[in-house]
Structure 1
Amino acid sequence: MGLLFLQSLPGPKVFKCRCCKVDSAPHDAIVSKNFSGRYGPAYLINRVVNITMGPSEDRHLMTGWHTVNDIFCSCCQQLLGWKYEKAYDDSQKYKEGRFVLEKARVMKIG
C-alpha cells in the first residue's frame, strides 16, 4: 500500500474526523448550519479535504430527490456525510457540488 497524503488546514477553527482527528473542513466554509443528516444536525459546507467518495446514487431526502455520493474520511474510512451531485428541484440547485458534514461524525477544534 502507498503513502497516504493528508492535507492540513490553516486557521483557528477546523472540523476534524471524530475518530482519527484528521482535518476535514475549514470552519469558514460553512454555508448553512440548519441541515439534518442521518445522525442528527449537520452542516452544509463548500469545501472538504481528506475524503474519499462512494458511488453516486439517487436518494429521497427531506427536500426531495437528489443524486449524492457518501463521503468518507480518507484516513480511517469513517462515514462523514455526503456530497450533492445533482438536485432535481430548481429550488435546491444551490446544493449541487456542496457537502454535508454530520455533527456527530466530526469535531470542531478551536
Structure 2
Amino acid sequence: MLSGIHTVADIFCCCCGQIIGWKYESAHEKSQKYKEGKFVLERGRIVDDVDFSAEFYIDSRASMSDGEDS
C-alpha cells in the first residue's frame, strides 16, 4: 500500500506464529497521524474454523524486543 510513510509492527497469531496483520506505530506525515495505534488484520490469513468453546488468551500488551529485556 502506498498511503504515506509509516512505522509498523507485525501482528502475529500466538498459537501458530503466522503474521496476520500489522499495527501503525507512528506516521511520519501530519495527514496520516490518525492511523497511529490502529491496526489492520488480513481476513485471508485468519482461520475460519475456530472452536470458540476452547479458551483463548489474547495478549494485548506491547511486546518488548530482546534489547529491552533488562
Pairwise same-fold verdict (TM > 0.5): yes
The residue number in structure 1 matching 2:5 is: 65
3-state SS in 1 of match to 2:22: strand
Q: For structure 2, list consecutive stretches of 5 or more residues without a partner in the other structure.
A: 51-70
TM-score by structure 1 length?
Answer: 0.40
Higher helix content, 1 or 2: 2
Task: Map 1:34-53; keep pairs closer than 5 Å.
Answer: none
Over the aligned positions, Cα root-mean-square deviation in angstroms equals: 1.8
Letter paired with 1:70: D
The higher relative CO (CA closer than 8 Å, separation ≥ 6) is in 1
Higher strand content, 1 or 2: 1
Structure 1 residue corresponding to 2:36, chosen from 70, 89, 96: 96
Larger radius of gyration: 2
Alignment: residue pair count = 49
Q: For structure 1, list consecutive stretches of 5 or more residues without a partner in the other structure.
A: 1-60
Identity of aligned residues (%): 59
The residue number in structure 2 matching 1:9 is: none
TM-score by structure 2 length?
Answer: 0.61
Runs of 4+ more than 3 Å apart: none
